[in-house]
Amino acid sequence: MASEDEEFTMLFQDFYPSLCRFLECLLGGRAPLAQDLAQESFLQLHRTAWGTLPVGEARFWLYRVARNMAINEFRKSHTRYRLFDRVVETMRPRARNPEQEYETQERKTLVLEMLQTLPEDQRTALLLREQEQLSYREIGQVLNVSESKVKVDIFRARASLRERWTRKSGYSAV
């Protein structure tokens, strides 16, 4: 039991931050909600599937469950930012110096805005590729779609982002 908990702790330490990041990008920056959903995904894994899933599968399982939760969340509230989230986000303590913080925040906002212009399936596929470095086959496994659809979705997402990014002057060489 102790070793199972240790394994779970290791998995949690490895993937909880990246799952939070994935959800944050997917949800358009609602960090507290993203953290809640990531925790809920791990909770489901711990309660139900841990011990029955092969360790290599647990990661895909987590992303699949987290994505479904995010989709449910979209359906519930669309893209409306809940007041509570905004308050928490505003009150969050910021440790870095203000200039650095401002720059990071600007870049984050831009990335999030761009990502929000993509359809959900393209956004998820692109995030799993760029942030989690999953292969097309693995992404197909998570999203339950064919590899060719993943390939097309990722290409379309990139092409569309590139076009938008080009219009925004002064941010990159794109």
Partner 1 sequence: MTCSFTEKISSLIDGELSTAEAREVERHLIGCNECQQIRADFLNLRSQIAGFETSLAPAVQNRALKKLLATPRRAPARGFAWSFGTQAAAFATLVIVAAIIGFLIYKSSNTPTTDKHLAVQTPTPVPAASVEQKQPEAEASPSPNKGNEETAPRRSPSPAPKKPLAREPKPGEQFAAIPSTPDPVRPADTQTMTALHFEKSETLLVAFRNVRLNEPGTTAEVAYERKRAQQLVLQNMMLRREADASGDVQLSSLLENLEPILIDISNLPDKPDKNAIRVIRERVERKNIVPLLRVNSTALARALD
| Minimum distance from residue 19 beta carbon to partner 1 (Å) | 9
Q: Of the candidates 79, 90, 92, 169, which one interacts with partner 1 according to CB under 8 A? A: 92
Structure tokens at 136: 């097309």
Q: C-alpha dihedral over 126, 131, 133, 139, to 10 degrees? A: -40
Please, what is the angle between helix 31-44 and helix 55-77, to 10°?
130
Angle ∠(158,60,117) on CA atoms, nearest 5: 30
Q: Is 24 in the site for partner 1 (CB under 8 A)?
A: yes
Q: Of the candidates 50, 61, 124, 138, which one interacts with partner 1 according to CB under 8 A? A: 50
CA–CA gap between residue 108 and residue 32 (Å, rounded): 16
What is the binding site for partner 1 (CB under 8 A)?
5, 8-9, 12-13, 16-18, 20-21, 24-25, 31, 34-35, 38-39, 42-43, 46-52, 75-76, 78, 89, 92-93, 104, 107-108, 110-111, 115, 121, 126-127, 129-131, 135-136, 145-146, 148-149, 151-152, 154-155, 158-159, 161-162, 165-166, 172-174
